[in-house]
Every structure is written in C-alpha cells, then in structure tokens.
Amino acid sequence: MQLEDPTPKLYGLLAEFDSATAIVTAAHQAREAGYVKVDAYTPFPIHELDAALRLPRTKLPWIVLGGGVTGLLAGLALQYWASAIEYPMNVGGRPYASWPAFVVPAYETTILFASITAVVAMILLNGLPQPYHPLFNVPTFSNASADRFFLSIEAADPKFELGATRQFLQGLKPVGVSDVVD
Amino acid sequence: MADRHQPALESHAEAHPSGMARTHSDVVGPGHSFGSITDKIASAVLRPGFLPGWLVGFVIAFAVMSMFLLAISWLLIKGTGIWGVNVPVGWGFAIVNFVWWIGIGHAGTLISAILLLFRQKWRMSISRFAEAMTIFAVMCAAIFPVFHTGRPWLAAYWLFPYPNTMGLWPQFRSPLIWDVFAVSTYATVSVLFWYVGLIPDLATTRDRAQNIWVKRIYGVFALGWRGSAMHWQRYEVASLLLAGLATPLVLSVHTVVSFDFAVSVIPGWHATIFPPYFVAGAIYSGFAMVLTLAIPIRAYYGLEDFITMRHIQNMAKVMLATGLIVVYGYSVEAFMGWYSANRYETFMISNRMFGNYWYMYWFLILCNGVTPQLLWFKKVRTNVGLLFVLSLVVNTGMWLERFVIVVTSLSRDFLPSSWSMYAGTRWDWMTYIGTLGLFTWLLFLFLRFVPMISMFEMRTIIPSAKVKKPEGAH
C-alpha cells in the first residue's frame, strides 16, 4: 500500500483547544456545520461531549447483562452436572440437586462473567488494543492525555475539503490546527 | 510545602456537614491545574533512578519477603508439621492470617466501588493505591489456605472444577468451595477493576515518557488509548458497571469467608451474626490499613494536596463507624452466649473471656473496642501521627479477633478429652511476617512503576474541568 502511494495520505485535521468549555463548544459547532466524522480527544471524560457530538448511547450494558446471565446459567449448570449427574454423592440424605448450596458459587460466577464481559467488551468496542493511530503522528497530540483538548475532522467526511475545513477549524479559535498524516 | 495549604484544609474540615457547600478545595489543594496534577503524579513514575528512601524500604521489604520464601520452602520440604496446628486446633495461623489479609483487601473495593456509586469525590485520590492494596492483600491471603492444604499441587482437583483422570468433582455443598469461588472471583475482578482504572493514566505515562523503551512498555499496557469521546463514554459505563458488580461481590466475599465458620457446628462459630460482623470487621481493618499506608506515602511523596486532611478524617470516621459495628458484634456474641442457655455456647464465651486465652480476648477488646473511641475527638482525627498509631492498633486488634475466633473455639470443643492448646511456631511467625514483607515489597514496586493516584479522575475535580454553559449548545 505504501509502495503504490508514496505521497502521505491525509487522515484529517486536528484542532487543539486549551479548555473543557472550548472543546465542547467546538464539537457542537462542528456537528452543526454538518461534519459527521468528528471526534474529540480529552484528558478526562467530559459528559457534555456526548450531546455535542451527538454520540449514540453505548450498548455495553446489554452485553454485560448477557455476560451475567451466561455466568449464572453456567455456574448452576456446572454444579448441577457435577453434583447430580457426573459425581452424585449422598450428603446426609440431601437431594443431589441441592440448589440452595449452589446459589453461592452461581452468584460468584454471575459477577465474574459480567465483569470480564464489561472489561473485554469495553476494550473491543473501543477498537483497542490499537498500537498505531494516525493521530499519534501529531507531536502535540501527546498532551491529549495531560492538559489539552483536541477535535478531529476526518478526511473521509463527505463535507471535508482541506481548505474550507481548515478555515472552519481556525474559526473556532483553537490554539492550533495540524494536518494528520496517515 | 505542607504549611502552605494547611489553613485552607482546616477551614473545610468540618465546615459543611450538609455537603451542600462543599467545593473542590477540600479534596484537592488550591491552585492546581490539569498540568500540575499530571506532573506531580507522573513524576514519581517517570523520574530517573530511585529515591533513597524508596530504595531502603524496598530492600528491607525484599529481605522480609525472602524470609517468607525460606519459611515456605521449608514447609514444602517438611510438611505442615512445622506449623503449630494440631488436633483439635487444625486451623491455626493459616486461617487467622487468611481472614485477616482478605479483610484488609475489602477497604480498597469499598473505596473504589461503593464510594464511586455514592459519587464520593474524596475517594478519587486514594482509590488507586487502595485497590493496589486490595490486590496485594488478596494475594497474601490466598497463600495461606493454599499451603494449609499441605500439598498444594494436589489440592487443585478438589478446589477447582476441572475434568481430571480420577473422575472427581468438588463438593459444591461445602463453604470451603464457595470460598474458592468467592476469593478467586474477587481477585480477578479486583485486578480487572484496577487495570481499567489505570488505562488512561498509562496513556499519560506513555505520552510523557522520554525513554523509548519506557514509552513502549507503558504503550503496550495503555492499549493505544487516545481519549476519544466515544471511548470515554464506554469507559465510564464500564467503570460504573464494574463498581455495581464489585459492590455485591465485596460484601459476598467476607460473608462467604464467615460461612466457613458459621456453617460449621462449633460453638462460637455457628452464629447468624457472622456475615455482617465479618464484613464490618473487614472494612474496619481495611481502612486501618489504608491509613497505615496513606499517612507515610503522603508525607514521603509530598501528596498533602491530593490526600488532604478531609481524606484522612473521612477514613478515620469510617473506621470509627465500622469499629462500633464490630463492637456490637462482640456484644451480641457475649449476649447470645448467655441468652441461648446452651451450655456449650455459655462455656465458649466464658472460656474466651476467662479461659486460657483470656489475655488475647481482652487485648482484642482494648485494641478494637476501647482505643478507637478516641476517634470521636476531632483533635485525634486531625492528628496524623496519632491516627497512624491508631491504625496499627486496629490492625493488631483485628488479627487478635481472628485468632480468638479460630483458636479459642477449636481448642475447647465438645469433648474435654480432646482439648489442647495452640501456639504458632517460629515457622508460623516467619510465614506471617514474611507475607507482610511480600505485601510491602509489591507496594514499593507499585509506587515506583504505576501512577499511585488516578490522574484523570483528579483532573475532573478541579474547577476548570467544569464546562461553562456554552451559548448555542445545551
């Protein structure tokens, strides 16, 4: 791919801001202006960005519920199968499927499965691990994890036009605008 | 450095009991920006070389841990006969230490999960190392029952359900198996929760590292985190769900540990008070341990701006409250010993108070019941040195509590002909003190290589993190 196309490909434009308020305003205006492939990068979660960027609500809770239910059923099934089918043992005349005793391990497997699902699904839905991203080519972007706030508009956006988009971003009064090269 | 903000902290200490007028200034020192928080916390990890104090502590901890390795090696060569356990006291130091360590872990989860659900901002600066404490404490705890089995390499088939060539399966009606499920789930979820909390801070460390290898190593663990808005949304939902899952989990863990005792028929163990009484005791000892750790760490790394007097005082209050629940537990035990009119129960409580181990019982009451009443006084709660001593007293008291529960009941069971005394041998003590070395050693590694305070959460509580209502947007 690199061999066929020696000129660097443009991923998009990145504007840098120095406050939480500025990034929320900028994100809002970018969406208002009709840009779709817009994302904000911040050193801490800013809840106002969800509305400003019109982000969909994540499906994560439903996936975690699925993980929890799976854990519950798996825990009960394991205990029933081990205690009543595979290795039945008479303990003081109690039934083999002595479900009150099975509640505790099943409770734990529910939490275990749901927690693992929450972490793995969060990471995978976020497309991580992703060691390389074009944004990391912008030297100042390293401050996105400390004290700066960034707004990107991707070149893949239907409304993207290098000159016009750069001008639009400059109009948002950022600290600076950089080209993001892939 | 400490003097500069002392007045501001004092004024906030108890000024707003309603919680209405609280500002950021009491959970983080004044004048901090996103950058200064990041610099302060990241510098402990990214500084070249080692601080002399850290190095000394690390070496001492390593030496103590080596003693643990020695004791365990000898145990594996000779067998559990080198321990003081006998018939009828089959659960000696191993179970005492197991319960003590696992209890200590509970404060970390309480701080990071339960206080997150209650949106307590004061949790943010202490949650990271309290969680680390949880993980290390659970590791120390797990060592004891595993080696108590005598031949841990053979213990796997009756502890974990896996298909084996003997066709055997664990006995799921036994609380000991419940415990295996509870503790291993707790360890796993604690590690996951801790790691998820670390991801954005690992990215910060990656971005600020100068050395290419340091950058790469933190980069691998940061998974390529870039702080995208959609990522943050999923991240926060995942954190909240984990907190929601860890809350019932942490309550269940010590409940299940108490079932190990309560489901048996031994006098002094077979009591319905056990689950809540154990959970309160766990949180009590855990907060004591957080104070034991936070007070020196705060002084050594100059973190008075982040771990303020408000934090210290709040922890002292939690300690006082849970301590009172524990004292209530002791009272109920004593009351039920009389009220049950059961001769074994009556004997059990009088044996605890006036039997061969009477001094253990009264020392326990002194440590856990009497001394912590000092915490009613604000003068005590704001005296860091005194709190440090008190936290050690409570830790000792909680260890004694478990000793009293395990040993007094077993050494005097139903048949006087089988009565016997118990004392830990030098190998018991070496193993126990050795795990303290292991715990401290891991903690020193954590302080050096992992950001000890959550930087991204600290950023959210300074005033400039608040988005001012922008015109146009809502």
Nearest Cβ partner of B468 from A21, A87, A111? A21
On whether the CB atoms of residues B381 and B317 are closer than 8 A, the answer is yes
Q: What is the mean pLDDT of chain B?
A: 87
CB contact under 8 A, A145 and B35: no
Q: What is the mean pLDDT of residues B340-361?
A: 91
The span from the CA of A36 to the CA of A154, in Å, is 9
Q: What is the mean pLDDT of residues A56-60?
A: 91
B124 interface with A at CB cutoff 8 Å: no
Is A139 found in the same domain as A98? no
Is A176 found in the same domain as A88? no
Domain end residue (candidates: A78, A102, A125): A125
CB contact under 8 A, A101 and B173: yes
The whole-number pLDDT of residue A114 equals 96
* Tens-digit pLDDT profile for residues B227-266: 899 999 999 999 999 999 999 999 999 999 999 999 988 8
CA B277 to chain centre: 16
DSSP three-state, residue A178:
strand
Q: What is the mean pLDDT of residues B441-449?
A: 93
Q: How many angstroms separate the CA of residue B242 from the nearest CA in chain A?
A: 6
Q: Give yes or no for residue B326 having a pLDDT over 50.
A: yes
Cis peptide before A174 (omega within 30 of 0): no
A77 interface with B at CB cutoff 8 Å: no
User: Which residues are CB-contacts of B405 (< 8 A; sequence separation ≥ 6)?
Assistant: B261, B268, B269
Instruction: Calculate ∠ Cα B451-B454-B457, nearest 5°.
Output: 155
Closest listed residue to residue B123, CA positions, set B112, B131, B132, B109: B112
- For the entire predicted model, the pTM comes to 0.89
Q: For the ranges A15-29, A127-141, B10-24, B129-143, which has the lowest average pLDDT?
A: B10-24
Is A109 found in the same domain as A26? no
Backbone angles phi, psi at A14, to 5 degrees: -130, 120
Q: Is the CA virtual torsion A29, A30, A34, A36 positive or negative?
A: negative
On whether the CB atoms of residues A152 and A39 are closer than 8 A, the answer is yes
Q: Is the CA virtual torsion B28, B33, B35, B40 positive or negative?
A: negative
User: Which residues are CB-contacts of A10 (< 8 A; sequence separation ≥ 6)?
Assistant: A155, A162, A179, A180, A181, A182
Q: What is the mean pLDDT of residues B401-417?
A: 91
The span from the CA of B226 to the CA of B217, in Å, is 16
* Tens-digit pLDDT profile for residues A32-51: 888 888 999 999 999 888 88
Q: For the ranges B18-22, B44-48, B167-171, B406-410, which has the lowest average pLDDT?
A: B18-22
- What the block records as the tokens of B349 is 């409580």
Is A150 found in the same domain as A67? no
Q: What is the mean pLDDT of residues B341-352?
A: 90
Per DSSP bridges, beta strands A10-17 and A38-41 are unpaired
Residue at A161 is within a domain: yes
Per DSSP bridges, beta strands A176-181 and A10-17 are antiparallel
The whole-number pLDDT of residue A7 equals 67
The span from the CA of A144 to the CA of B315, in Å, is 33
Task: Compute, in degrees rounded to 10, the torsion defined by CA atoms A118, A122, A123, A124.
Answer: 100
DSSP three-state, residue B376:
helix
The span from the CA of B407 to the CA of B95, in Å, is 10
Residue A115 pLDDT class (50, 70, 90 cuts): very high
Q: Which of residues 196-225 of B touch A (CB under 8 A)?
A: 196, 200, 203-204, 206-208, 219-220, 223-225
Residue at A109 is within a domain: yes
Q: What is the mean pLDDT of residues A18-24?
A: 89
Q: Give yes or no for residue B31 having a pLDDT over 90.
A: no
* Tens-digit pLDDT profile for residues B296-324: 988 888 888 888 888 888 889 999 999 99
- What the block records as the tokens of A102 is 């099975």
Q: Give yes or no for residue A108 having a pLDDT over 80.
A: yes
The span from the CA of B37 to the CA of B462, in Å, is 10
Per DSSP bridges, beta strands A149-154 and A10-17 are antiparallel
Q: For the ranges B152-166, B201-215, B349-363, which has the lowest average pLDDT?
A: B152-166
Residue at A38 is within a domain: yes
The whole-number pLDDT of residue A90 equals 87
Where along chain B do its domains lie?
Answer: 30-150+171-464
CB contact under 8 A, A132 and B242: no
The whole-number pLDDT of residue B117 equals 83
Encode burial over B8-29: b for 16+ CB neighbours within 10 A, e otherwise.
ebeebbeeeeeeeeeebbbbbb
Exposure of B131 by Cβ count < 10 A (0-12 exposed, 13-18 middle, 19+ buried)? Answer: buried
The span from the CA of B442 to the CA of B421, in Å, is 35
Q: Give yes or no for residue B163 having a pLDDT over 60.
A: yes
What letter would DSSP give residue A97? S
Closest listed residue to residue A151, CA positions, set A126, A177, A120: A177
CB contact under 8 A, B178 and A45: no
On whether the CB atoms of residues B138 and B246 are closer than 8 A, the answer is no
Q: Which residues of chain B have a CB within 8 Å of the CB of A122?
A: 196, 234-235, 237-238
Nearest Cβ partner of A133 from B168, B185, B224? B224
Q: Which residues of chain B have a CB within 8 Å of the CB of A41?
A: 226-229
How many domains are contained in chain A? 2
- What the block records as the tokens of B341 is 């009119």
CB contact under 8 A, A146 and B220: no
Closest listed residue to residue A68, CA positions, set A123, A103, A109, A104: A109
Nearest Cβ partner of A64 from B203, B236, B241? B241
On whether the CB atoms of residues B192 and A117 are closer than 8 A, the answer is no
Q: What is the mean pLDDT of residues A133-152?
A: 89
CB contact under 8 A, A60 and B241: yes
Residue at A4 is within a domain: no
The whole-number pLDDT of residue A4 equals 59
- What the block records as the tokens of B370 is 């009497």
Q: How much of chain B exceeds pLDDT 90, in percent?
A: 52
Cis peptide before B88 (omega within 30 of 0): yes
Backbone angles phi, psi at B386, to 5 degrees: -65, -40
The whole-number pLDDT of residue A3 equals 58
On whether the CB atoms of residues B136 and B130 are closer than 8 A, the answer is no
Q: Give yes or no for residue A13 having a pLDDT over 70.
A: yes
**Which residue's entry shows tokens 């009590």?**
B284
Q: Give yes or no for residue B401 having a pLDDT over 80.
A: yes
Is A102 found in the same domain as A77? yes
The ipTM estimated for the assembled molecules is 0.91
Residue B46 pLDDT class (50, 70, 90 cuts): confident
Residue at A5 is within a domain: no
Q: How many residues does chain B have?
A: 474
Residue at A2 is within a domain: no
Domain hosting A82: range is: 60-125
Q: What is the mean pLDDT of residues B159-173?
A: 87
**Which residue's entry shows tokens 């939490």?**
A111
B194 interface with A at CB cutoff 8 Å: no
Residue at A3 is within a domain: no
